[in-house]
Amino acid sequence: MAQLSPVTFLVGAGLCIDAGLDGSVSLALKLALYLQELAAEPGNDEAKTLLNLLYFILGGIRFQWGRQGIYPDQPINIEQIATAALRLRFRHDDPLAPYVSAWSDRIMDLEKQQSGALEHFSDIIFARLKEWLATPHPAKIEYLNRISDIHGGEAHISIFSLNYDMLIENALVNAQRPFINGFREGRWNPELFNDDQKIRIYKLHGSLDWVEDEMYGVCSLSFDRHPKAEDFEVNKSPLLIFGTNSKITSRDPFLSLVHAFAQHLRSAQVLVVIGYSFSDKYINDIIEQRMRDNLPLRLILAAPDAEKLQRSQTFLENSPRVTSINCSALEGLNTGLVRNEVLRLLRETKQEAPF
């Protein structure tokens, strides 16, 4: 039996736009609207404080951009808001905290108005994400199954997702395509990824069905469900990572997942990037390093503005090893544009002499 070629997918929020999910900027706007509606209710002083906290965070993000010489009047996404809120919430744990003479008076005022305001604010973000990123009707996500079309035939597929939602998992379940996500009976075990007979899904930034329990550790509530989940799932926030500068962590499962991404690209023949805007520097650094180390590696960039994205990254801009496909995720997957290009590149790499 011929050895199957390793093909790696890296998918971002753009993968799920065609399923009706909001992008990160739209989610930020939804959060603002949600808090504005609550604050408009008579006597809801708590919501007013949280709305003022949101405005303070938005202003701080834009002010920082201006200080850095970055155009400040650009869209702000939900991750940037969540990152700022979490860093403010745990600001006293920051190694630089001893060198800060005073925090903003506005933070102190808001915390006086409502005890635990920053904690409540971040909890609201987690809760709303679970609602706003809920999986839609199976027909809306059927196109995601096309990612797995060549698995077991011409290649074995590994999917690295930067998304928190569970669309890929549900789409594969609907299509009865077995997969591995690092959990068995709801318990985290990275050794499960050693089985390449099944499609492997790596959620680099966490998942809405992951939680951390004091007794059981990191657990999954859905794929597949921890047998004791009903004992601890209530009021548990999902285990997610926010922030482009804080996504590299020494904690599992995140450490194992990012290591797996770097390792996969050492041997992958094709990396397919769908719906990713190259906004995470550490992800970009890994791709750039592997493009240098793994010379046979070819990259397919599928997005409505794929050519523009390619030009935005100096290590990709003029590379003959990069193919840009200007298309939505749904179009690229359903019409076979992505699949056909993957197969073409696999044939090409097999015909080339070793480097």
The pLDDT score that the predictor gives to residue 2 is: 56
CATH H-level, domain 5-21+137-351: superfamily? TPP-binding domain (3.40.50.1220)
Closest CA to 258 of 6, 4, 81, 10: 10
- Per-residue pLDDT of the chain (355 residues), as tens digits, is 457 889 999 999 999 999 999 999 999 999 999 999 999 999 999 999 999 999 999 999 999 999 999 999 999 999 999 999 999 998 888 888 888 877 888 888 888 888 899 999 999 999 999 999 999 999 999 999 999 988 887 789 999 999 999 999 999 999 999 999 999 999 999 999 998 889 999 999 999 999 999 899 999 999 989 999 998 888 788 999 886 445 556 678 999 999 999 999 999 999 999 999 998 889 999 999 999 999 999 999 999 999 999 999 999 999 999 999 999 999 999 999 999 999 999 988 777 645 4
What residue has token string 């959620």?
Answer: 203
CA 161 to chain centre: 6
Could you give the 3-state DSSP secondary structure of residue 215? coil
pTM value is 0.91
CA 298 to chain centre: 22
What does each C-alpha distance from 210 to 70, 97, 221, 265 come to in angstroms? Answer: 35, 30, 6, 26
The pLDDT score that the predictor gives to residue 355 is: 47
Residues 6+ apart with CB under 8 A from 49: 110, 113, 114, 117
Could you give the 3-state DSSP secondary structure of residue 269? coil
The pLDDT score that the predictor gives to residue 111 is: 86
- CA 302 – CA 273 distance, rounded (Å): 6
- CA 108 – CA 105 distance, rounded (Å): 5
> 10 Å Cβ neighbour count for 105?
8
- Contact, 85 vs 121, CB < 8 A? yes
Q: Nearest 5°: CA angle at 274, between 268 and 277?
A: 110
- CA 4 – CA 252 distance, rounded (Å): 29
- CA 79 – CA 82 distance, rounded (Å): 5
Domain with CATH 3.40.50.1220 in the chain: 5-21+137-351
How do strand 217-220 and strand 210-213 relate by DSSP bridges? antiparallel
At 274, give phi and psi (nearest 5°): -125, 125
Task: Pinpoint the alpha helices (H) of 98-211.
Answer: 105-113, 117-132, 138-141, 167-174
The pLDDT score that the predictor gives to residue 354 is: 53
Residues 6+ apart with CB under 8 A from 120: 46, 50, 114
- Contact, 328 vs 18, CB < 8 A? yes
- Contact, 157 vs 192, CB < 8 A? no
DSSP type of residue 121: H
The pLDDT score that the predictor gives to residue 59 is: 96
Name 212's bridge partners: 218
- CA 24 – CA 30 distance, rounded (Å): 10
